[in-house]
Amino acid sequence: MKPADLGLVRTPGPPTLSPDGRTAVVAVTRLDLEADAYRAQLWTVPTDGAEPARPLTHGWSDQAPSFSPDGRWLAFLRAAGKSGKEARPQLYVMPTDGGDARPVTTVEHHPLGAGAPVWSPDSTRIAYVARVPDEGRYGTREDVAPEQEPPRRITSLRYRLDGVGFVLDRRPQVFVVDPFHDGPAPVQVTSGDFDHADVAWSPDSSLLAFTSARHDGRDRDLRGDVFVCTPDGKDPRQLTDTTLSVSQPAFGPDGRTVYFLGSEVGPSGLDFVARHTGLYAVPADAAEGTPTRLTPGETHHHGDSTGRTVVTADGVLFGNENRGAVDLLLVPFDGGEPRLVLGGQRQAVGFDAAAGVVVASVTTGDSAGELVAVSDGTERALTAFGSELARTGRVRVPEELDATAPDGYPVHGWLVRPEGPGPHPVLLLIHGGPFAQYGWTLLDEAQVYAGAGYAVVMGNPRGSSGYGQAHGAAIRYDVGERSAADLHALLDHALATRPDLDADRIGVMGGSHGGFMTTWLAGHSDRFRAAISERAVNAPDSFTGSSDIGWYFAEQYYGDADLRARRSPLAAADDISIPMLIIHSEHDWRCPVEQAQRLFVALKLRGVETELLLFPGEGHELSRSGLPSHRIARFDAILDWWERHLRTS
């Protein structure tokens, strides 16, 4: 791929299925390089595969489609433009038998936008979550500019979030609206200084389930609970016992059980490292009941981006991370052995089910996503969103690597090789997280570097997800050295088994935790010619107090203050002599910009060839969701850096 090929990538989101299972609707997102913005439209897709998918809407950004249970309506979110109030999505509905979409909510109802729609089973109401700004903030008064707002009085640790901003003065609340009658404003169901998320209806439309943290001490732990209440907010009741981190509740078919995602966080409420997110159940009539885990804790970890728990007549669908794949499983209501619905070298990243049909958005190593349908044991491919990119011939298929660390531990990864006989310069690419996985999905990073002539080695060393909890927890309190052993082993294996790779021209790069490891390797190894450390944790000591998650993340992963200081990548800055490009974003609150500045100054003062590329207006997710022009500029700078430092013999 070339950097400009980002404009050819089409990414489908989670689909919604009509009640009869015959039609899927999915939002497809693309980069509009000319407008320097993201565009998204809804597509309608027959699930029998007899007809091709076709565009259904032509708005600026249409997302989060949802069929009404009677099949007559489609609700979705529409943002009318790319900036200002027009970029804040509002709720729309359109008839499925033809006709224009009309707004249900407006900026007057929700100045910060509305969340994904959830239909009541009787198809008369829609529930959703929306942030409610404090009066006078975030443009609620046109005569008060952001710099004129009063100071924020901060008394809690959870006061800001990367990609969102300050959250203490715009809590997300649950709303219900009648979409068919003009006049009635949305009803705010929840209130208070709490966050609310993931609303769901009971089968008889008499109750709402949602998640929130309302317990004492919620500011200092990661626990939450599942609650239910009536659609007007009355009779709120807590179902769970405040022992888990929870999300995505959904009622079972008979309304007697609520299923949800949860992960253990230990007695402290902060022990999150490598904890698998599993499927749980709790009785709907419980009063702070003890949830039952339905998926094995050590082996099954939720990895899809569906955004809601999908309950079928036969069980609950669950996307399970598995060695770079995300398998789609059907978990029986009582637990037991899950049944494989979709597997193989791919990731099921979004799905829905109705009338015996399952439709999923599925990625592979050379595809950003296509829809497939499964019914009666037969799988059908439904779309060709990636055809334009595929026709360029510039997408390379990843090759699996299976290496062995010095202690005998297996290390799994991939190699993306450029065209031609070589010898190719090599890039060791390290993922963030660290509890995340590379795998069977189109990674634009690896494709662009391979397109420029670099062989890309990437893998899932200890600390990654997808290989069991013990694998993920193995790096705790010794992140650098333990991850480094596996990464070196993977790189050694690629060099030993692929003679077209040039062992004398190797660069290392990564972002977030991958940036941590890049800086670490630059200070603890002499095998790399140059490095690019991006949005990195370079100094866990200051990260503790400056990151939005630093107050708990740093100690849990890096250890106490003494360990954080001794095993910090910055502690070895005096041993870095190779050229270093540092990439960061000004508005990164996950790994704040001081993490880049401290490394930049330490290297510059020693005379090391160092550059700092700083992006305005961007947060931690620049490489995945930043402005298209910034993503292209980032690729241009990276390719220029490697051209300067790896192309010479």
Percent of the chain's residues with pLDDT above 90: 95
CATH assignment at residue 413 = 3.40.50.1820
Task: Decide if 45 is inside a domain.
Answer: no
Distance of alpha carbon 224 from alpha carbon 492, whole angstroms: 44
Distance of alpha carbon 170 from alpha carbon 167, whole angstroms: 5
Residue 84: predicted pLDDT = 86
Range of the domain at 92: 75-370
Task: Decide if 247 is inside a domain.
Answer: yes
Residue 200: predicted pLDDT = 98
Mean pLDDT over residues 470-492, rounded?
97
Residue 328 above 90 pLDDT? yes
Among all chains, which residue has been given the structure tokens 């208070």? 192
Count of other CB atoms within 10 angstroms of residue 376: 6
Distance of alpha carbon 243 from alpha carbon 324, whole angstroms: 30
Residue 604: predicted pLDDT = 98
Residue 610: predicted pLDDT = 98
Task: Decide if 41 is inside a domain.
Answer: no
* Coil vs helix vs strand at 449: helix
Same domain for 344 and 400? no
CATH assignment at residue 359 = 2.120.10.30
Q: Kindly report, residue by residue over 15-66, the tens digit of the pLDDT.
A: 999 999 999 999 999 999 999 999 999 999 999 999 999 999 999 999 999 9
Mean pLDDT over residues 82-96, rounded?
94
Same domain for 269 and 133? yes
Q: Tell whether pTM > 0.85.
A: yes
Same domain for 520 and 574? yes
Distance of alpha carbon 55 from alpha carbon 417, whole angstroms: 35
Q: How far apart are the first and last CA of the chain?
A: 24
- Which pLDDT band, with edges at 50, 70 and 90, does 286 fall under? confident
Residue 619: predicted pLDDT = 97
Residue type, 2: K
Residue 372 above 70 pLDDT? yes
Q: DSSP characters for 508-533?
A: EEEETHHHHHHHHHHHH-S--SEEEE
**C-beta of residue 147 within 8 angstroms of C-beta of residue 170:** no
Distance of alpha carbon 113 from alpha carbon 118, whole angstroms: 15
Distance of alpha carbon 194 from alpha carbon 238, whole angstroms: 14
Same domain for 354 and 411? no
**C-beta of residue 257 within 8 angstroms of C-beta of residue 334:** no
Number of domains composing the chain: 2
Distance of alpha carbon 486 from alpha carbon 457, whole angstroms: 12
Same domain for 117 and 241? yes
Q: DSSP characters for 343-389?
A: -SSSEEEEEEEETTEEEEEEEETTEEEEEEEEETTEEEE---TTHHH
Residue 647: predicted pLDDT = 87
**C-beta of residue 576 within 8 angstroms of C-beta of residue 600:** no
* Phi–psi pair at 321, nearest 5 degrees: -65, 135
Residue 205 above 80 pLDDT? yes
Same domain for 366 and 403? no
Distance of alpha carbon 135 from alpha carbon 132, whole angstroms: 9
Same domain for 468 and 344? no
User: What is the rounded (10 degree) CA torsion for 523, 527, 531, 536?
Assistant: -40
Residue 8 above 90 pLDDT? yes
Omega before 296 within 30 of 0, i.e. cis: no
Task: Decide if 110 is inside a domain.
Answer: yes
Distance of alpha carbon 201 from alpha carbon 389, whole angstroms: 40
For the chain, the C-alpha Rg in angstroms (whole number) is 25
- Which pLDDT band, with edges at 50, 70 and 90, does 184 fall under? confident
Distance of alpha carbon 172 from alpha carbon 97, whole angstroms: 34
Residue 502: predicted pLDDT = 97
Same domain for 340 and 427? no
Q: What is the mean pLDDT of the chain?
A: 96
Same domain for 506 and 403? yes
Residue 648: predicted pLDDT = 73
Quick one: tokens of 229? 């209440």
Percent of the chain's residues with pLDDT above 70: 100
Same domain for 357 and 428? no
Mean pLDDT over residues 533-543, rounded?
97
Rounded to 5°, the CA angle 269-272-273 comes to: 145
Q: Kindly report, residue by residue over 416-475, the tens digit of the pLDDT.
A: 999 999 899 999 999 999 999 999 999 999 999 999 999 999 999 999 999 999 999 999
Task: Decide if 565 is inside a domain.
Answer: yes
Residue 383 above 70 pLDDT? yes
Residue 139 above 90 pLDDT? no
Q: Kindly report, residue by residue over 561-578, the tens digit of the pLDDT.
A: 999 999 999 999 999 999
Q: Kindly report, residue by residue over 224-265, the tens digit of the pLDDT.
A: 999 999 999 999 999 999 999 999 999 999 999 999 999 999
Residue 630: partners with Cβ closer than 8 Å, 6 or more residues away: 615, 618, 622
Among all chains, which residue has been given the structure tokens 């250890």? 559
Residue 287: predicted pLDDT = 84
Distance of alpha carbon 184 from alpha carbon 205, whole angstroms: 19
Residue 462: predicted pLDDT = 98
Distance of alpha carbon 515 from alpha carbon 438, whole angstroms: 15
Among the three residues 352, 370, 388, which one is the final residue of a domain in this structure? 370
Distance of alpha carbon 68 from alpha carbon 19, whole angstroms: 8
Task: Decide if 173 is inside a domain.
Answer: yes
Q: Please choose, from the candidates 269, 280, 189, 266, the residue with its C-alpha nearest in 3D space to the C-alpha of residue 228.
A: 189
Same domain for 303 and 406? no
Task: Decide if 52 is inside a domain.
Answer: no
Distance of alpha carbon 349 from alpha carbon 306, whole angstroms: 6
Residue 182: predicted pLDDT = 79
Same domain for 301 and 174? yes
Task: Decide if 35 is inside a domain.
Answer: no
Residue 649 above 80 pLDDT? no
Distance of alpha carbon 63 from alpha carbon 42, whole angstroms: 7
